Chains A and B, each alone.
Chain A
């Protein structure tokens, strides 16, 4: 192993490195968004990129998400590989028509004559005190839209590999980052590598129950699982990595093994992706192995509060996961 594999960088740096490395090797790749140039992006993701690639390839735009998305769709149709950045995932609402009705549909409506190889990057999630309009997790909307792939990495290593796959994919990909993960570190190789979509990871093995999760909830789930292990409860934590395509095989396998499943996500529980996961499991052969009801632990059905205490209470924390997993693991045993 080279020294590189031991190099630790942050999630934020991993996202930047993926973009920089792909832009270096492919002149068709460019970045477009608000405040991404001189300012380096609202969270500093694109810091230094303007200096290296110039304003042609690090394109600053007016405050218009629909404009950014429209330009990206157009450029992709003409053979470029745009990476568009939405400053907060909440603002994706403004780009909905371009993403849902244009980017996702073009290839199908034109009989495969065109493709739309673009990436829409956006940070999601609460925990920064940014209140209801800057804290949402809207992945379910895009998972629900045929023609868009959705990935949501939980760590720096996956962020780099999945972003490179997203850039190289010939179809629109919604790449969901998480604000609280930006500062988390992981061992990330310097070389270019791609992680294929549709592959979930069993990040901790266990026999008592399966915990399905993604994004920020994966490190929280791991922390809860470590605590529960001290009590003798062995939780298997599965990081879905990509929500669409979904790795149903790994899910079904794990749930069949443990017979119990807890689904954890930050987005509100009602209409959230957890419902889809529950249905996938109930419809699969894993049903016959279920030894307890499928359980969801997710955000409350409320706009994220500004008050930090309430904000924290509105989405699953480590102790909530611990409690829910313990209760489920003990049911009927």
Chain B
């Protein structure tokens, strides 16, 4: 039997995916479970496995196509079998979904511009939903306009409402909740103002046009929002890494044997930062409307570069992990990030972020706060530097730490106190073992 290959919905609020590449060629035999193609979601690149065994046929998705979820992009056929007829469903006038591309027509791929997120209610017209979906939406206070329906012409069914409850879509009135896979961030006017600026383009020859989609788009939106909405303050301190380096050498072999991962400076810094955050609550907090939520959990985001994109895998409840636990969690996340096996949920919901650019030879830098967090720690490289110690010049491994904080909820002294605690702990790190 022919098995449809569809653009999967890997995240409950995902409406489209950007096709990256086929990992197998048309006409090739594929086995169920083998990696078949790669897509970009708003969060990351993900490898999708073959839904069945057979011959890969009738592939229609091409790199950079932006494709609505559930749309057929190919078939897996038995030998000698023909693909089913694929008759595009004409759009039906009068239905609310007409503003959106017809998800049932498998030949249509659309540009990012056509698929720009549609504001709830207004453009979509009436929501198509079954009676039970409407009843449950009313009970569970789900706005059907935010729910993507899997039924014909986007009709919302019970299952869609339930999915929406489990993974709610952004809503301005909602408080951020770290367990959710979607960001509670509601992009307000500043971003729209920034993205909507009519600045004339240079009169130059174009090489190529890359759609602003997937992770690039999310990065653009979020960081523009953060830069515009959060007044950043930036404080830098030098940390003597002598003892931290010694500690790392001492534990390196033992921990590598035990965990299978090398202890990185990032892991040591992560452990120290987590321990310091306990004493500086507003550095592990979020501003939501007129409330400041101070988080009990430290969900520690670690900025990383994977396949030319910034990803921020999250170490959950870092406060309950010792150095070994951090090493394991971080090692596992980075390993899977490189293999593109991270789920969107694993890259969401951090409460504080560390960005280490030391390995790129950067001595110090400032970072943009990852919203809705209140601060981000920018870590530079360790540089052997002569410092004057009691009338003599000594060579010491120094590292510059820069804390960038949202001044709306973190004052300069609070940021300084936090940074000093991190510095002191790194300079006297033996409490870690």
Contact = CB atoms under 8 A, between A and B. Distances in A.
Nearest to A260: B130
Contact of B131 (A290, A331, A332): A290
Contacts of A288: 131-132, 135
B149 interface: yes
B158 interface: yes
B152 interface: yes
Given A291-B130, A291-B157, A332 B135 contact: no
B159 A332 contact: yes
A289 interface: yes
B157 A332 contact: yes
B134 to A, nearest CB: 8
Contacts of A293: 130
Interface string A83-126: 00000000000000000000000000000000000000000000
A289 B152 CA distance: 18
A198 interface: no
B132 A291 contact: yes
B151 A292 contact: yes
A332 B132 contact: no
B132 A289 contact: yes
Contacts of A331: 151-152, 155, 157
A259 interface: yes
A293 B132 CA distance: 11
A3 B7 CA distance: 59
A288 B132 CA distance: 5
Contacts of B156: 332
Interface string B117-138: 0000000000000111101000
Contacts of A259: 130, 132, 158
A333 interface: yes
A333 B132 contact: no
Interface in A247-295: 259, 287-293
Contacts of B130: 259, 290-293, 332
A332 B128 CA distance: 12
Interface in A111-159: none
A245 B156 CA distance: 35
A23 to B, nearest CB: 50
Interface residues of A, number: 11
From B131, B133, B155, B158, residue with most partner A Cβ within 10 Å: B131
Nearest to A289: B132
A288 B160 CA distance: 16
Nearest to B134: A288
A293 B128 CA distance: 12
A333 B131 contact: no
Interface string A289-323: 11111000000000000000000000000000000
A132 B45 CA distance: 63
Nearest to A290: B131
Nearest to A292: B130
Contacts of B133: 291
Contacts of B150: 332-333
B131 A289 contact: yes
B140 to A, nearest CB: 14
A333 B157 CA distance: 8
A179 B155 CA distance: 42
Nearest to A288: B135
Interface in B107-125: none
Nearest to A287: B131
Given A290-B130, A290-B132, A291-B132, A333 B152 contact: no
A324 to B, nearest CB: 15
Contacts of B157: 291-292, 331-333
A106 to B, nearest CB: 43
Contacts of A292: 130, 151, 157
Interface in A194-242: none
Interface in A54-72: none
Nearest to A286: B131
B73 to A, nearest CB: 19
A290 B135 CA distance: 10
Contacts of A332: 130, 149-152, 155-160
B159 A333 contact: yes
A333 B130 CA distance: 12
Nearest to B160: A332
Contacts of B159: 332-333
Nearest to B130: A291
Contacts of B132: 259, 288-291
From B130, B155, B158, residue with most partner A Cβ within 10 Å: B130
A59 to B, nearest CB: 54
A268 B135 CA distance: 34
Nearest to B154: A332
A215 to B, nearest CB: 29
A331 B149 CA distance: 11
B77 to A, nearest CB: 18
B10 to A, nearest CB: 17
Interface in B139-176: 149-152, 155-160
Nearest to B151: A332
Contacts of B151: 292, 331-332
B131 to A, nearest CB: 5
A290 B129 CA distance: 10
A134 B175 CA distance: 70
A291 B157 CA distance: 6
A333 B150 CA distance: 7
Contacts of A333: 150, 157, 159
B51 to A, nearest CB: 15
A151 B133 CA distance: 36
Contacts of B160: 332
A259 to B, nearest CB: 6
A291 B152 CA distance: 12
A276 to B, nearest CB: 19
Interface string A142-181: 0000000000000000000000000000000000000000
Contacts of B131: 287-291
A259 B157 CA distance: 10
A290 B150 CA distance: 15
Nearest to A293: B130
B119 to A, nearest CB: 24
B277 to A, nearest CB: 44
A332 B70 CA distance: 11
Given A291-B133, A332-B130, 9 more contacts: A259-B130, A259-B158, A288-B132, A292-B130, A292-B151, A332-B155, A332-B159, A333-B150, A333-B157
5 contacts: A259-B132, A259-B158, A289-B132, A291-B158, A293-B130
List the 10 closest pairs (A to B, CB-CB), nearest first.
A332-B151, A332-B157, A290-B131, A291-B158, A291-B130, A288-B135, A291-B132, A289-B132, A332-B150, A291-B157
